[in-house]
Amino acid sequence: MASRHPFSTLYLSAPDVIALVQRKGIEQCLRGIADNIHADFLRWSAFDKTARVASHSRDGVIELMPIADEQTYAFKYVNGHPRNTRWGLPTVMAFGVLADVATGAPVMVSELTLTTALRTAAMSAVAARALARPGARTMALIGNGAQSEFQALAFHHLLGIDTLRLFDTDPAATAKLQVNLQGTAGLRTVACASTAEAVRGADIVTTVTADKTNATILTPDLLAPGMHVNAVGGDCPGKTELHADVLRQAQVFVEYAPQTRIEGDIQQLPADFAVTELWEVLAGQHTGRAGDAAVTVFDSVGFALEDFSALRFLRDAATELGMGQPIELIPELSDPKDLFAVLRSCSPALRAVA
């Protein structure tokens, strides 16, 4: 990577990030992002936090997700359009920025479409390590679309899951997932004909569906003592996956309660429904699972701090590997009080006037 002057911005394109993940290895990327998430959640009070800013339409949502500590500001632009695949576009597309708080200078601009999938899976694993029963080895994975491989690999590499019971309303999605996971040592996949069949005997149930509807993917009759539910797909108003009674029968944990009450599965319940923010468990300020028979739910909607953690990982990995390109996102000024000078210096018409 070429040396950068103080006003250049590191740019990581989609091909850059793909190459970075290939060079580091997906397991090490998941571990690195998960470690950053855990460390940043332990600094919870150090961050200026806000629920994401969302613009909803009939077909989807476009969101901005900002967060900052005393040194670094970050934001992510991300969409969620479940019908995009018919146009050959991903359901989720994203990019992000790291900036210096002291100056406001943008330090890095990066793709976050692939990275969001990695950080979502890493977040699920961080939560499950704190909430699932020790020794969990079987997971049901309901929804086998673009996020499913990342969830599968995060739980396999970071928690030791060795059996995946799979279901999707589209059998081709399940077949795709099984092909992509072929050759993953120590991981067995079982295609199932229904959600009920998939969750039977599962220690962990991950729901990661894309439809923008109030769905009931998981119902109370499917719960078993000791189960941990990783609810990932419900992430905006009007989009849920769990029957409300699943939540009422469980201990419910969230990322950032003010956001999750708007977007998560708990949007179905009164505003005073008791939840615990995950950082409290990680910091030892709140007990996680009450006992081996307890049912736990992680109502995950995705929070900006996770993107902060993932962007830190990308910055550090790109520096280590010498990847990315410097871009002149901000004009270079000989006199910072004379912005108009950049036009005089390159426009013959303006030079003639001057």
Check if the beta carbon of residue 30 is closer than 8 Å to that of residue 125: yes
Which 3 state secondary structure label does DSSP give 5?
A: coil
Q: Which residue has the tokens 């070429």?
A: 2
Helix axes 14-24, 304-321, angle to 10 degrees: 70
Tokens of 246: 């699943």
Give the CA distances from residue 231 to residues 23, 63, 209, 261, in Å, rounded to whole numbers and listed in that order.
31, 20, 9, 14
CB-CB neighbours of 124 under 10 Å: 26
Active site residue 59: no
**At 141, which helix (H) or strand (E)?**
strand 138-142
For 66, residues 6+ apart whose C-beta sits below 8 A from its C-beta are: 50, 52, 53, 73, 74, 75, 304
- Residues in a beta bridge with 333: none
Alpha carbon separation from 174 to 104, 143, 177 (Å, rounded):
45, 8, 5
Token reading at 30? 């998941």
Distance CA 291, CA 71 (A): 40
Say how far apart CA 223 and CA 132 lie, in whole Å. Answer: 14
Q: What's the length of the chain?
A: 354
Backbone phi, then psi, for 342, in 5-degree steps?
Answer: -65, -25
Which of 16, 40, 235, 299 is catalytic? The answer is 235
Which residues have a catalytic role annotated? 235
